[in-house]
Amino acid sequence: MNDPASAISLTNVVFPTPLLPTTVINFPHDLPPKIMAFQHILYENCITKIKFTIVVLILIMTGTIINILTVLIGSLLGLLFGSKLSDRVREAVLSALGLFTLALGMQMFLKTSNALIVLIALVLGVMLGEWLHIEERLEKFGQKLQGSFSRSLRSQDLSRFVEGFVAASILFCVGPMTILGSIQNGLTGDYSLLATKAVMDGFASIALAASLGIGVAFSSLVVLVFQGGLSLLAFQVQNLVTPAMVSESSATGGVILIGIAISSLLRIRKIHSANFLPALFLAPLFVALLATFTN
């Protein structure tokens, strides 16, 4: 009598998921009905896991998805009507966004349970940021990247497509609001900050597309990779942080957000907001240290 195992051919089906362990299931071709039913249950279970993974990805990428849509819509409007938008209207919209960002930052800060932790994190964080010249390095990186592409344009006589793509990618991805919003979206699922940034990027893309063309719309691919990557990274380490750590980091981010509103949007006073970014990581560290010494 032949070995039953040798009479059954198996087909390996692999279900890779970015957030769950890779699942491998053997599907026999010739099995009794009960075993076939069990096989169907296993298959449905894998499909459920895949669907769950997709839902989780959408949740932690919501802010990035909104940002991509606003860039695409703004680019389209810029190509069609950008030249008809006056400077006065642009300034008014920027002021409205600045006031909203200021209010959002205050709301985030008021959720703190220990304002002293936020203060210490901000003071030590900006000292570290100034020592590392974070904002200066970000600006130089953007200028260097744009300059290298500009030289390429002159030497190779390419269209303005590349120039629009690079300028928009730098504008939309190099900045403290991008980093802060992506981390917040990945850790807590709150995409309000990225949604605010998305509105600003949408209006910026109108102006850029009006002068630099369709290349601005393709910068949405960079937004997807960069912002989405930061959110996914933050999601992967969420098991290492407690609700208190998230709360104080968010409150610290709220103060940084107020600085962005005052400096970049309302233009009341110049503040090097990017140099405060280390405070986002110091705040949860201090929460962990405090919990260690009090227990």
pLDDT band at residue 48 under the 50/70/90 scheme? confident
153 versus 72: the higher-pLDDT residue is: 72
153 versus 98: the higher-pLDDT residue is: 98
Instruction: Say whether pLDDT at 231 is over 80.
Output: yes
- What pLDDT is recorded for position 7? 39
pLDDT band at residue 160 under the 50/70/90 scheme? low
- What pLDDT is recorded for position 88? 81
Q: What average pLDDT does the segment 116-133 reach?
A: 94
Neighbours of 249 (CB within 10 A): 28
**Closest Cα to residue 75, out of 193, 150, 197, 164?**
164
| Element holding 273 (H helix, E strand) | none
Buried b (16+ CB within 10 A) or exposed e, 151-178: eebeeeeeeeebbbbbbbbbbbbbbbbb
* pLDDT cut 70: percent of the chain above it: 76
Q: Where do the structural domains in the chain lie, given as residue ranges?
A: 4-55, 62-294
pLDDT tens for 265-275 read 788 988 888 88
pLDDT tens for 14-44 read 434 444 444 444 444 444 554 455 556 666 6
Average pLDDT for the chain = 78
Q: What is the C-alpha separation between 255 and 273, in angstroms, rounded?
A: 10
pLDDT tens for 274-288 read 889 899 889 989 999
pLDDT tens for 126-150 read 999 999 988 888 777 766 766 665 5
156 versus 247: the higher-pLDDT residue is: 247
In this structure, of 30-39, 80-89, 203-212, 269-278, the range with the lowest mean pLDDT score is 30-39
